[in-house]
Chain A
């Protein structure tokens, strides 16, 4: 095929296109406007339904407890929870100010998260790179993963005492396995062509890990961070629950022992707010680090 014929075809195509545009051009703006208002209406509807759901659930809860259909002594009530939170904010908990408890729990959770993630990524990459080592320790890791690790918290308290160390340890152990399995899988999934190409181009082992393996596994690792952060909070709270001198877990345990369901709910509410904030931060991090990824169909559809 010669260039001339290609050129002619392109010209003909362009002509067809411009005619089409003239015919439809007038209505194009209308179509866009209708589509936009449709999309806006749908968003408003979703928002309205969400608010309604909340009102029905919370309002129903309040109503049923007020009518004594549900016993507020066992189930608490929304107004009681709100008062409890206010009380904590204004007068502090039995163990000092609310912010102190929150700070202690967050410190434990974040330290545990940091240690667990670092260890998980490191071990995941080392084992992912070394098939022999992975085959040797594989079954043991499966066994460790199978034991209910929450129970380890009891041992950690015996070993490390009632202070923060035991909670950090428990959080780190919970986080480690989540991150490790993802990092390991991520390293295993690295395209062999990428590695072969880097080797041929003269990359050293370290350079391959840095330029090929880690970025490739990052998708997997970051996906695990969402779950991992939740686990780190669980680790800290459960650790405090089992035995501590400070922290939200201790506050919850005390509320439970005092038959104060409002206190348990209030503490849960506070934790949920923190977890949501952390989730938003991790999503931001994910966007930043994985900006190279093509938008998935769902994302580009604007959901």
Chain B
């Protein structure tokens, strides 16, 4: 793992942080407020505090509208916190964070590019020649089992296959941090289970830190080392739970019947349920005027 970290380091050789430390995420007392064009302020995150250890798989669960996606945007450097600081590898995030990849709920595959072109985007943007980028993309397509689909366009693929392309496109830059925003949320249950297993095996190969957002608690526990439960708007951290299920986890659809899993699930659900109910009550009574995604 140290050796892998070193390859990630080579881009930022001026940084004298060890490879492992590069992939540490510290979110320190972060508050994020949005101001609507009409001038109204809206607090999405309030005093968020948690850490993702290097190489850790951390899941964030919470009800709709608790600022989960906002958190990811802050880590990626797409947005700035109103107060507090987000550190990646010990450095405050300022501009797009280096060495990260993002996977969105609705896959961000460009419909006008072929599968190969989409996966090759990462190296292309980093200045690789077309030939090198494509060679690397082919290699990653083989890893995710999509050899033979290079010249297809995304709309010709099934949902699960598109997710594989997204995974390859995200991992091709060999990120030290992988940010995932409900990546499998739109899939059917079976495909979701298959993709979760695939994600775990890919993750175990390279061990980037993962910040994984979901509203599915079972998915969170099955995949993650650490589960962060967030409250509904403004988003706050309600609890952080370390998941001590052994790795490798094996099939995610089977682990959920193990006694320890059920115990953890029960414990975290107690904490989450209250928030979900509160958030739900709010959507029923109040108008959903706050146009901020979960």
Chain A residues close to B by CB (< 8 Å): 1, 191, 193-194, 196-204, 207, 211-212, 215-216, 218, 290, 292-294
Contacts and interface: CB of A to CB of B under 8 A. Distances in A.
A74 B106 CA distance: 63
16 contacts: A1-B253, A196-B102, A197-B104, A200-B78, A200-B102, A200-B179, A201-B121, A201-B125, A207-B124, A211-B113, A212-B110, A215-B113, A216-B112, A290-B112, A292-B153, A293-B112
B121 A198 contact: yes
Interface string B96-126: 1100111010101011110000000110111
Contacts of B73: 196
B173 interface: yes
A290 B96 CA distance: 32
A145 B242 CA distance: 62
A197 B102 contact: yes
Given A200-B76, A200-B96, A293 B111 contact: yes
A294 B156 CA distance: 8
Interface size class of B (residues with CB under 8 A): 20 to 34
8 closest A-B pairs by beta carbon, nearest first, are A197-B108, A203-B125, A292-B112, A202-B125, A200-B102, A294-B155, A193-B108, A215-B112
Given A1-B253, A193-B108, A196-B102, A201 B155 contact: no
A201 B128 CA distance: 13
Contact of B78 (A1, A196, A202, A294): A196
Given A196-B102, A207-B125, A202 B112 contact: no
A191 B104 CA distance: 12
B173 A194 contact: no
Interface in B27-82: 73, 76, 78
Contacts of B179: 200
Contacts of B106: 193
* A193, A196, A198, A200: residue with the most chain B Cβ atoms closer than 10 Å: A200
Nearest to B156: A294
A194 B112 contact: no
Given A196-B108, A292-B111, 5 more contacts: A197-B102, A197-B108, A201-B122, A215-B113, A290-B112
B100 A200 contact: yes
Contact of A202 (B108, B169, B173, B190): B173
B94 to A, nearest CB: 14
B174 to A, nearest CB: 12
A201 B124 CA distance: 9
Nearest to B254: A2
Contacts of A290: 112
A193 B104 contact: yes
A293 B173 CA distance: 28
Contacts of A200: 76, 78, 96-97, 100-102, 179
Interface string B274-287: 00000000000000
Contacts of B173: 201-202
Nearest to B78: A196
